[in-house]
Amino acid sequence: MNIAWITVRRWDDLCSTTTDALVKGLVRKGHLLTVFNADQPDVHQKQPWSHVSLLQSNLPGRKGASLARSALKWFQINHDSKFDVVMVDWPLASPLAKFLFARGERLVLMDRSPPADSSYLAKLQWRVWRKAWSLVKRNIISEGLVVSDAHKTFVMNRCRIPSKKLHCIPAGVNLELFPHEEKVFDGVWNFVYHGRLDKNRGVLALPMLMRKLQEQGFNVRLSLVGKGDAVSSLKMIASNDPQISVQSRLSRPAMAQHLSKQHIGLLPMPNTKVWSMASPLKRSEYLAAGLFVYGIDHRGHRLEGINTDWFRLSAQEDFHDGAVAWMKELSQLTHESYLEGVRSTRAYAEEFCAWDTSLHDLESVLISCIAD
């Protein structure tokens, strides 16, 4: 198949990990692929896919619209360029879909997450999100892709989209980035969170969690990696606590190496509408790196069939106390028992979190668009 993907993701952003994995997977399966985004051409120069560099405004609230207009202009100029199927991220769908549909393109909507915060701009984005899904309902866009069953149910109820037009493509993990290594435990429990350091993700509760554990006599360190609106507050806290570090985002290989030195990955995202339907990539990466996982209990964080000795979720109101209780259990582990837990989480990632299943499902959806 000759596939185009018009995306808001940039390859220098950790949020593009999923996009990168799916693009590489489709190319490995023998498909031709063209990525349309705001990256400079040299970013994709050595990649096994084609790239079209789009113009994008830096003004908040105008980024998606300007990117979509740039893509629309490219298709208007290059009217002889045809694709078997075009995937488009929901923020870009509304200005593009009708034009592409009119020229005979088969379209698939990609929704990796609805608007994630409660700001004024997010409220405007909800209108864009609903408009994008209305195009699926009206059959201008053939199929819609979501990240979880909860996400699918939300779209069905909110936008009245038939179940048969919705397909789950959960986040996976590139296991090759996380080689098997013997874990070292020197008596200090290394906790880690990586991704967006935004207030609405619950990250400001993590330094308080460390303080609570320290007060209970546990030797702990916290590593926070990423960018976001909570960074300045977190850095201020870290300046007064040598056991807390805050650093900017790392490359994917560097992040994998960093995770290999940690012991417990954190999922502090609260039980809100958006996070309860998410499929957080960091969860899979924690498991692939052999980490134990602790977080807030809701549908977006739960995993079926995982050993709760190593993967523990607590109600939001019990987040701190639940961690203390779990750490008391973990402190009784022998070194061999600890390594058994490491092997268990890695084995779960290998069986259930690799990209293979998601790639197969995505390819099947794209092929069905052509077959219809």
Identify whether residues 72 and 8 lie together within a single domain. yes
Q: Looking at residue 328, which CATH number applies to its domain?
A: 3.40.50.2000
Contact 197, 203 (CB under 8 A): yes
Identify whether residues 96 and 204 lie together within a single domain. no
Task: State residue 179's pLDDT score.
Answer: 82
Identify whether residues 167 and 188 lie together within a single domain. no
Identify whether residues 89 and 209 lie together within a single domain. no
Contact 319, 268 (CB under 8 A): yes
Identify whether residues 15 and 156 lie together within a single domain. yes
Task: State residue 317's pLDDT score.
Answer: 95
Return the ∠ at Cα 16 (arms to 14 and 20), rounded to 5°: 120
Per the listing, tokens 């769908």 go with: 93
From the CB of residue 278, how many other CB atoms can be counted at a distance below 10 Å? 25
Identify whether residues 166 and 227 lie together within a single domain. no
CB-based burial of residue 238 (10 Å sphere; 0-12 exposed, 13-18 middle, 19+ buried)? middle
Residues listed for the chain: 372
Identify whether residues 137 and 163 lie together within a single domain. yes
Task: State residue 115's pLDDT score.
Answer: 84
Task: State residue 284's pLDDT score.
Answer: 94
Identify whether residues 196 and 151 lie together within a single domain. no
* Residues of the domain holding 249: 175-352
Task: State residue 14's pLDDT score.
Answer: 62
Number of folded domains that form the chain:
2
Query: What are the angstrom distances between the C-alpha of 33 and each of 4, 172, 180, 252, 369?
Result: 6, 20, 32, 22, 16
Beta bridge mates, 4: 34, 86
Task: State residue 118's pLDDT score.
Answer: 60
Identify whether residues 215 and 312 lie together within a single domain. yes
Identify whether residues 37 and 151 lie together within a single domain. yes
Task: State residue 141's pLDDT score.
Answer: 97
Task: State residue 352's pLDDT score.
Answer: 92
- What are the residue ranges in the chain where pLDDT is below 50? none
Dump pLDDT digits (tens) for 148-168: 999 999 999 999 999 999 999
Task: State residue 88's pLDDT score.
Answer: 98
**DSSP-assigned states of every residue in 175-206:** GGGS--------S-EEEEEES---GGGTTTHH
